[in-house]
Amino acid sequence: MKRLMKWSMIPALSSIVLLGSCSSGETIKIGAATYTETKIMAEVYKALIEDRTDIHVDVTPDLLSNPMIIKSMDRADLDMALMYTGVIFNNFFDVKETTDRDEVLKQAQEGFQEYYDFTWYDPLGWENAYALTVRGEYADELGLETISDLGEHQDQMRFGVDSSWMERQQDGYPSFC
């Protein structure tokens, strides 16, 4: 069975239904990262697939890294996974630097097809864009209006982020500094 990376409900379910009609009793293994939305969507896929086919679905939640997910799919330990297109900036293959969402999607689709034989479908509609926030009263007190305004006050502030943002070289903390 061809390994599939799913990003769209309709194409994903259509592909799975077609596979399911070829044989019964098959199991599809879905991997989900530690993000809440990927874990929820993996369970949604499971419910839809099992409700509409004879295919059993095993969900493996809380996979800690994109490299782990991709290696698991490459070894056929997983058949599906939900990931963000920004994963292309983590050196799985050469990419053109861009902030254009359509171009990032195109590079994800083409790159994962060429280098891993994964089919990457269109987005489900959410994104994991990062935002920097400061309490409103604190921003007013210091006269903060732009990110660069933080520089002169950095010694008075604590910065809280998740670990994945600290590790993302192209679009995380290292590129922010």
Q: Show the 3-state SS of 28-68.
A: EEEEEECCHHHHHHHHHHHHHHHHHCCCEEEEEEEECCHHH
**Residue whose entry in the numeric block shows the structure tokens 């993302």:** 168
Measure the CA angle with vertex 86, ends 83 and 89; round to 5°.
Answer: 120
Q: Name the more confident of 171 and 30.
A: 30
Structure tokens at 138: 């604190």
**Each residue of 29-83: pLDDT tens digit?**
999 988 888 899 999 999 999 999 999 999 999 998 889 999 999 999 999 998 8
**Each residue of 103-155: pLDDT tens digit?**
999 999 999 999 999 999 988 887 766 778 889 999 999 999 988 898 899 88
Q: What is the pLDDT of residue 170?
A: 66
CB 82 within 8 A of CB 33: yes
Q: What is the pLDDT of residue 106?
A: 95
Residue 13 has pLDDT above 50, yes or no: no
The CA distance from 164 to 59, in Å, is 22
Q: What is the pLDDT of residue 147?
A: 85
* Domains assigned to the chain: 4-120 (3.40.190.10), 136-176 (no CATH)
**Each residue of 18-27: pLDDT tens digit?**
333 334 469 9
